[in-house]
C-alpha cells in the first residue's frame, strides 16, 4: 500500500477513539511550553498504551486552538471517546497530571 492509499487518521478520529488522548497545545516561542516534554514523557511512561499524548502547535494549527478555546499555553485537554474530560492551562507536574487523568477517566467511565 502506498501513502496515497493509507487512511490518514485525523485529529477528530483520534480524539473519538477508545484510547484516551491528552493534547498539549504549545508554541515554540513559549518558555513554559518547553518544560512540558519531560513531564509528558513521564506521564506516558506511567500510562503506556492506555493513553495517547499528542502535541499541537497553536501557531501552525490556530483553528483547532480556537475551536477548543485555548487562550493560554501550555494548555492540556484530555479527550475520551470524543468528549472533553478536562482542560487546564499552565505547567502541571507529572504526579498531579497523572492523578487528574486517572480521576477524570474514572468519572467518565462511571457516568
Pairing of strands 83-89, 21-26: unpaired
Quote the pLDDT of residue 77: 98
Concerning whether 106 is annotated as a catalytic residue, the answer is: no
pTM given for the model: 0.90
Tell me if 97 sits within 8 A of 76, measured CB to CB.
Answer: yes
pLDDT digits (tens, 9 = 90+) for 81-104: 999 999 999 999 999 999 999 999
Low-confidence residues of the chain: pLDDT under 50: 1-6
Using CB atoms within 10 A of its CB, is residue 15 exposed (0-12), middle (13-18) or buried (19+)? buried
- In order of start, what are the domains of the chain with their CATH numbers? 17-110 (3.40.30.10)
Active site residue: 30, 84, 94, 100, which one? 30
Quote the pLDDT of residue 7: 57
Concerning whether 67 is annotated as a catalytic residue, the answer is: no
Quote the pLDDT of residue 69: 95
Quote the pLDDT of residue 41: 98
Amino acid at each position: 500500500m502506498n501513502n496515497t492509499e493509507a487512511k490518514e487518521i485525523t485529529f477528530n478520529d483520534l480524539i473519538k477513539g477508545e484510547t484516551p488522548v491528552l493534547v498539549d497545545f504549545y508554541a515554540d516561542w513559549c518558555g513554559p511550553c518547553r518544560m512540558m516534554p519531560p513531564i509528558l514523557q513521564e506521564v506516558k511512561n506511567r500510562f503506556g498504551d492506555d493513553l495517547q499524548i499528542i502535541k499541537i502547535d497553536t501557531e501552525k494549527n490556530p483553528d483547532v486552538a480556537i475551536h477548543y478555546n485555548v487562550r493560554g499555553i501550555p494548555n492540556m485537554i484530555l479527550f475520551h471517546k470524543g468528549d472533553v474530560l478536562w482542560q487546564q492551562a499552565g505547567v502541571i507536574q507529572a504526579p498531579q497530571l497523572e492523578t487528574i487523568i486517572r480521576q477524570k477517566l474514572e468519572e467518565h467511565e462511571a457516568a
